[in-house]
Structure 1
Amino acid sequence: MSSGWTNERSAAGSRNPWLIVGVISLATFMEVLDTSIANVSLDHIAGGLAASRDEATWVLTSYLVSNAIVIPISGWLSDVIGRKRYYMISVALFTLSSLACGFAPSLPLLIAARVLQGIGGGGLAPSEQSFLADTFPPEKRGAAFAAYGVVVVVGPVLGPTLGGIITDNISWHWIFLINVPIGIASLLLVNTFVVEPKVLEKERAKRLKGGLKVDYVGFALVALGLGGLELVLDRGEREAWLESPFILVLAITVVLSLAMLVWWELSRKDPIVNLKLLGNRNFAITLVFMTATGAVLFGTTTLIPQLLQQVFDYDATTAGLALTTGGIATLVAMPVVGALTGKVDTRFLLVPAMLTQAGSLWYLTALNSDFTYGAASMARLISAVGLPFLFVPINSAAYVGLKPNQTNDASALLNVARNLGGSFGIGVAQALLIARAQYHQDRIVEGLNPLNPSYVEGVNQLSQTLGGEAGQTGTLAALMQQVQQQAQVLSYIDIFWGFMIFVLIVTPLGFLLKQGKGGGEAAA
C-alpha cells in the first residue's frame, strides 16, 4: 500500500474493491451506449415525430448542453448531497428520463426529456472516477481505470450498430427504453454494494453545519459559459458560425461568462467549481492532455466515417465498421496498460502514446483518391492502440498531490476537459473542412482554362472515356465532380496535418509531470 494512503474513503468498505468496478460500470455502459446509439436514429425520430432532420438534431444538442452544465458542478453536488446519494439520484434521473424519451409523443417533449437525461448522465462519470480514485491505492489505480475503461470503449463501438438494429427492426423508441432495466439493476447493485464512508459523511456534515451556501453566481456563469460554448460548437456549422446573429451574440456571452467565471471562482472560499486545483502542476498538465485526447479522438471518430461516406461513397454500415477494428485494439491494450501503470514511469507511457496518435494522423496525411477501407481501418488501429496509454495514465496521474477531499472536484474537471476537447475537435474540424475545401477548389479551378495544355488534354481524354453522347456539358460536369472530390481530399489532409501538429505541440508537456510510486502518491 502506498505511503500516506488509507482506505477510509473507499466506496467498497470491507468488500473486495474490484466489486465496485463492476457495479459502477453498469451505469457507465448505459450512459455511454445511449450517447452514441441515438446518432444513427435521427432520421427515424424526425419521421416518427413529424419534424425535419435539423429539428431532430436538437435531440443530440439538448443532451450535450445540459450535460456540459452539470459535469463541472457535479463535484460540488456530490460533496453537498453525499457521493453515493448523488450518484443514485443521477442514475434514477437518467433512467426515468429515458423512459420519458421512449414514450415522448412530440419532439418538444422528447427534447425536454433529453435535457433531464443529460443532467442525470452528467453526474455519472465524475462520481464513478471519484469512487475508483478513493477505493484503490495509487499503485492499483491504473488497473482499476483500465477495467473501467473497457466499458467506456465498448459502448461507442456497440452503440451505432445496436442503434441501427433496434431502429430498423423494432422502433427508435427502444433505443431509450433499453436503458430502463439497466438503470433499475444499477440502482439495486449500488444500493447494496457501494458504501458511503464515514469520513465523507463527516465532511458533508461540517460543510452543512453553518447552512448550505450555494454559489448562485458561479452556477449561472457555468450555465452561460460552458452550456453556451457547447451550443456554439454544436450549432455553429449549421448556423454559418459568426454570420448568424444568434451565434455571434452567444459567442460573446460565452467569452464574457467564462472570463468572469475564472475570476469569481478563484475569489470564492467555497466555489461551485474548484478552479484552484489548476494550481497543481500535475493536474493542470493532465487536463491539457485530456483536452487534446478528447479533441483528436472525437474529431477523427467523426471525420473518418464522414470521409468514407461523402468522398468515397461507402455506405454507413461499412464506414462505421472502419472504426470497429480500433475498438477491438483498444480492448486488447487496456489490460496491458493497466498492468504497466504504477510500475512504469507515467511519462514513458504518455509521451509514446501521444507520438502514436501523431503517427496515425501522419499516416492519414498520405490520403489520396485511391484511399481504401483497409487504410482507414489501419489508421484507426494505430490510434486506438495508443488510446489506453493516454486515458489510464492521465486518470491515474491527475490525482497526484491532491488532497483526498478534492477527488470529486478533480474528477468533474477531467470530464469537462474531455467533453469540451471533443466538442472543439469536432467543431473546429467541420469548420476548417468547409473553408479548406473551398480554398483548394478555387486553386484547382484557376488552372482549368483553354490556355492550359494539360487542361485541354484532360478534357479530351475525359470526353473519349465518357463517349460521344455525353457531350461538352457532361464532360465539364464530370470534370467538376473530380475537382470537388480532389478539393475535399486535400481539405481532409489539411485537417489531419493540423491535428498532428497540435498533438506534437502538446506532447512535451508530458515530461513535466511529477512522478511517484504508482503514478504518484496520494497527499493524504
Structure 2
Amino acid sequence: MANAATTGGAGEERVDRSTNPWLVAVVVALAVFMEVLDTTIANVALRYISGGLAISSDEASWVVTTYLVSNAVALIASSFVAQRYGRKRFYLICLALFTIASILCGLAWNLPSLLIFRMIQGFAGGGMVPVSQSILSDSFPPEKRGQAFAVFGIAVVVAPVIGPTLGGYISDNFSWHWCFLINGPVGAFALVLVYLLVQEPEALRKKREEMRRQGIRFDVIGFLLVATFLGALELVLDRGQVEDWFDSTFIIVTSVICVSALLASIPWLLTAKNPAVDLRLLATRQFSSCFIVMLATGAILIATTQFVPQVLQQNYGYTATWAGLALSPGGFVTMVMMFVAGQLSSKVQPKYLIAIGAGIIAFAMYDVTRLNPDLNFGFFVWSRLYLGLGLPLIFIPITSASYAGLRPDQTDQASALINAARNTGGSIGVSIASNVLAHREQWHQSRLVEHVVPSDPAFIETMRNLQHFLMERGSPMADAQNQAVGLIGEQVRMQASYLAYIDVFHVLAVISACAIPLALILRNIDLKAGGGGGAH
C-alpha cells in the first residue's frame, strides 16, 4: 500500500492528481463517516431494540460491542489484503459488503441474526478506515496532509457524536430498524463515487505483482490468534459482571483462552516471515505511547457517547432524541477544532497538542462528576463542548506522531494498529464503565440502605411526612405506608444510580489524565516533512 514514506521524497510515486484531491477527501470521508457512525448510532436505540426483539438490555448492548470487536479484528488484516489484492478493489468490496450488511441489520428478525449481521458490518467497516487514510495520503502532497486529515478526522470524531442524536430521532419517530437501513442509499452513492474518483498508484500495482511472484501469503495463524485474544477479552469484559467474574466457569475458561491466545501469539508474530501484526512497533517508545493514548481516547469517546445518553434517559427522563441532542453541540465544536488542530499540527509539536487535549478531556470528565438531580440540559451540552475541544487535539497530532521514524514498509501496519486501538479502546471503555456502574451502584445502595432503618430519626420523620402527604390525597393509611416505603426505596435506588455514574466519570477522568505523561515522552518530529512522512 502506498504510504507516507513512499509518497514523499525525490523518487516518490503518486497517484494521478488530475482529480481534485479535496473531492476525493470528501468522498472518502463520507464512506468513513457512515462506517464510524454505526459505532454509536444504535446506542440510544438499545432500549427500542431490547423491546422490539424481546431481549434484556444487557443482551442489547452486544449490538454495540460485537461491532467494535469485529471492526478491530478486521483492521489487523486490512493492510495485507489491500496490498495483496488491490487497494481500490478491496475498498469497494468492503464498502459494498458494509452497505448490504447494514440493510440486513435493519431486516434482522431476532438477536442472533442481528449480531451476525453486525459482525459482518464490523468486519467490512474495519477494512475501510486504514485504506481511506492511505488514499488520502497519496492524494495530497506532504505539506497539505494535515488539512486533509482534518477532513478525515471530522468523520472519525464527529460521527460518534451525531450518531446518538440521529439514532434517537429515528427511534423515537420511526423505528430502530431505520438506524441501519439509512446506510443503504448512502452506501450506494459512496460506492459509485469511489469507483469513479479514487485511483490506485502505480507503485501499488508493482508491489502487488511482486508479492504474487514471491508467493507471499497472509499470516492466517497470527491473525486467528490475535482475533481469538480480542474476542475472548471482549467476552470476559462484557460478561464478567453478569457471570460473577471468576466464580463462573464460563469466565474462567474464556480467560484461559484469552491469555493462551495472547501468549501463543507473541512468539509466533515475532518469528513469522510476514506477521499479521508487527509487534516490534509496539516495542518502540514512540509508537507504543501513541497506541496507549489512542486506546484511552477511544475509551473516552465511545464510553461517554453511550453513557451520557443513558443517564439522561434513565435518571432525567429524556427521550432518545433529546438525549442525543445533548451531544450535538459538541460535535459542531469538534468539527471546527479539527481544522484548527490541522493548522496547529504543522506549527506545534504533536506531544504538546496531545497533552493539552488529554488535559481538556480530563477536565471535561471531572466536570461531569458534579452530577445531581437538579442539572438541566445546558449542563450536559457544556460538558460535551469541553470534550469537543479536546478530542481533535489528540486525533490529528497523534496521526503524525505515530508515524515518526517508521520505515516505509511499517506505515500500513501502524495505520491498522492505531485504528484498532481506537475501536478496541472503545470496546474496553464501554465494558469498564458498565462494570464500574453495576458494581458501584450495588455498593452505594448497600451503604444508603444502612441509614433506612426504623430507629433512624430522619427515616421516621420522612415516613411520617410521606404518609401524611399520601393520605391527604386519598390513600388509606395501610396503603399510604406501603407507598411511602416504595417511594423511599425508589429514592435510594436513584441516589445510588447518580453516585455510580459519578464514579464512572471519575474513572474516565483518571484514564484521560494518564494520557498526559505518555504524550510528553513522545519525541519531536520534523513538522515540515508532514510528520515523519505523513500519516494514514
Give the TM-score of the pair, scaled to structure 2: 0.88
Task: Give the deviation of 1:236 after TM superposition.
Answer: 4.3
Deviations 1:466-500 (A, max 9, x none): 44646433322222222222222222222222222
SS at match of 1:520: helix
Instruction: Specify whether residues 507 and 430 from structure 1 end up closer, same or farther in structure 2 by C-alpha distance, changes over 3 A only.
Output: same
C-alpha separation in 2, matches of 1:186 and 1:53: 33
Written as runs of structure 1 = structure 2, the 5 A alignment for 1:98-497 is 98-103=102-107, 108-166=112-170, 172-467=176-471, 469=475, 471-497=480-506
C-alpha separation in 1, matches of 2:314 and 2:191: 43
Instruction: Specify whether residues 512 and 220 from structure 1 end up closer, same or farther in structure 2 by C-alpha distance, changes over 3 A only.
Output: same
Tell me which amino acid in the other structure corresponds to 1:494.
D
Instruction: Specify whether residues 480 and 324 from structure 1 end up closer, same or farther in structure 2 by C-alpha distance, changes over 3 A only.
Output: same
State yes or no: 1:520 paired with 2:531: yes
Deviations 1:243-270 (A, max 9, x none): 4433332222112212222232122221
Written as runs of structure 1 = structure 2, the 5 A alignment for 1:12-31 is 13-31=17-35
8 A Cα contact 1:350 1:390, kept in partner: yes
Task: Give the deviation of 1:189 after TM superposition.
Answer: 2.3
8 A Cα contact 1:94 1:121, kept in partner: yes
| Sequence identity percentage | 47
8 A Cα contact 1:215 1:272, kept in partner: yes
Deviations 1:4-39 (A, max 9, x none): 646835456454432321121121122123333344
Instruction: Specify whether residues 169 and 256 from structure 1 end up closer, same or farther in structure 2 by C-alpha distance, changes over 3 A only.
Output: same
8 A Cα contact 1:299 1:426, kept in partner: yes
Task: Give the deviation of 1:430 after TM superposition.
Answer: 1.0
C-alpha separation in 1, matches of 2:534 and 2:183: 38
Deviations 1:54-73 (A, max 9, x none): 66655545433432321122
Residues paired across the two proteins, number: 524
Task: Give the deviation of 1:94 after TM superposition.
Answer: 1.4
Task: Give the deviation of 1:428 after TM superposition.
Answer: 0.8
Tell me which amino acid in the other structure corresponds to 1:501.
V
Tell me which amino acid in the other structure corresponds to 2:497.
Q
Task: Give the deviation of 1:363 after TM superposition.
Answer: 1.1
Instruction: Specify whether residues 116 and 364 from structure 1 end up closer, same or farther in structure 2 by C-alpha distance, changes over 3 A only.
Output: closer
Instruction: Specify whether residues 511 and 47 from structure 1 end up closer, same or farther in structure 2 by C-alpha distance, changes over 3 A only.
Output: closer
SS at match of 1:488: helix
Instruction: Specify whether residues 192 and 351 from structure 1 end up closer, same or farther in structure 2 by C-alpha distance, changes over 3 A only.
Output: same
After superposing the two structures, state which structure 1 stretch, 418-427 or 474-483, moved more.
Answer: 474-483
8 A Cα contact 2:162 2:324, kept in partner: no
Which residue in 1 is equivalent to 2:100? 96
Instruction: Specify whether residues 365 and 181 from structure 1 end up closer, same or farther in structure 2 by C-alpha distance, changes over 3 A only.
Output: closer
Task: Give the deviation of 1:366 after TM superposition.
Answer: 2.1
Which residue in 2 is equivalent to 1:36? 40
SS at match of 2:101: helix
Tell me which amino acid in the other structure corresponds to 1:475.
A
C-alpha separation in 2, matches of 1:56 and 1:503: 28
Tell me which amino acid in the other structure corresponds to 1:446.
E
Task: Give the deviation of 1:333 after TM superposition.
Answer: 1.6
SS at match of 1:270: coil
Task: Give the deviation of 1:404 after TM superposition.
Answer: 2.5
8 A Cα contact 2:166 2:321, kept in partner: no
C-alpha separation in 2, matches of 1:54 and 1:488: 17
Instruction: Specify whether residues 314 and 360 from structure 1 end up closer, same or farther in structure 2 by C-alpha distance, changes over 3 A only.
Output: same
C-alpha separation in 1, matches of 2:257 and 2:358: 34
8 A Cα contact 1:37 1:175, kept in partner: yes
SS at match of 2:216: coil
Task: Give the deviation of 1:126 after TM superposition.
Answer: 1.4
Instruction: Specify whether residues 371 and 242 from structure 1 end up closer, same or farther in structure 2 by C-alpha distance, changes over 3 A only.
Output: farther
Q: Where does the alignment leave 5 or more consecutive residues of structure 1 unmatched? A: none
Give the TM-score of the pair, scaled to structure 1: 0.90
After superposing the two structures, state which structure 1 stretch, 131-140 or 395-404, moved more.
Answer: 131-140
C-alpha separation in 2, matches of 1:130 and 1:121: 15
8 A Cα contact 1:30 1:179, kept in partner: yes
After superposing the two structures, state which structure 1 stretch, 140-149 or 165-174, moved more.
Answer: 165-174
Task: Give the deviation of 1:172 after TM superposition.
Answer: 5.0
8 A Cα contact 1:79 1:408, kept in partner: no
8 A Cα contact 1:297 1:422, kept in partner: yes
C-alpha separation in 2, matches of 1:126 and 1:33: 16
Task: Give the deviation of 1:313 after TM superposition.
Answer: 2.6
C-alpha separation in 2, matches of 1:102 and 1:163: 13
8 A Cα contact 2:101 2:121, kept in partner: yes
Instruction: Specify whether residues 107 and 453 from structure 1 end up closer, same or farther in structure 2 by C-alpha distance, changes over 3 A only.
Output: closer
Deviations 1:76-96 (A, max 9, x none): 222222222221221122123
SS at match of 2:532: coil
Task: Give the deviation of 1:367 after TM superposition.
Answer: 2.1
8 A Cα contact 1:12 1:194, kept in partner: no
Task: Give the deviation of 1:125 after TM superposition.
Answer: 0.7
Instruction: Specify whether residues 178 and 299 from structure 1 end up closer, same or farther in structure 2 by C-alpha distance, changes over 3 A only.
Output: closer
After superposing the two structures, state which structure 1 stretch, 283-292 or 1-10, moved more.
Answer: 1-10
C-alpha separation in 2, matches of 1:324 and 1:113: 28
Tell me which amino acid in the other structure corresponds to 2:223.
F
C-alpha separation in 2, matches of 1:441 and 1:169: 36
SS at match of 1:36: coil
Task: Give the deviation of 1:152 after TM superposition.
Answer: 2.8
C-alpha separation in 2, matches of 1:80 and 1:320: 41
Which residue in 1 is equivalent to 2:74? 70
C-alpha separation in 2, matches of 1:303 and 1:43: 13
Deviations 1:430-486 (A, max 9, x none): 111111111122222223334444444444444445446464333222222222222
Deviations 1:393-450 (A, max 9, x none): 1122211111223222111101111111111111111111111111122222223334
8 A Cα contact 1:18 1:144, kept in partner: yes
Deviations 1:148-168 (A, max 9, x none): 122234433443444455556
After superposing the two structures, state which structure 1 stretch, 307-316 or 118-127, moved more.
Answer: 307-316
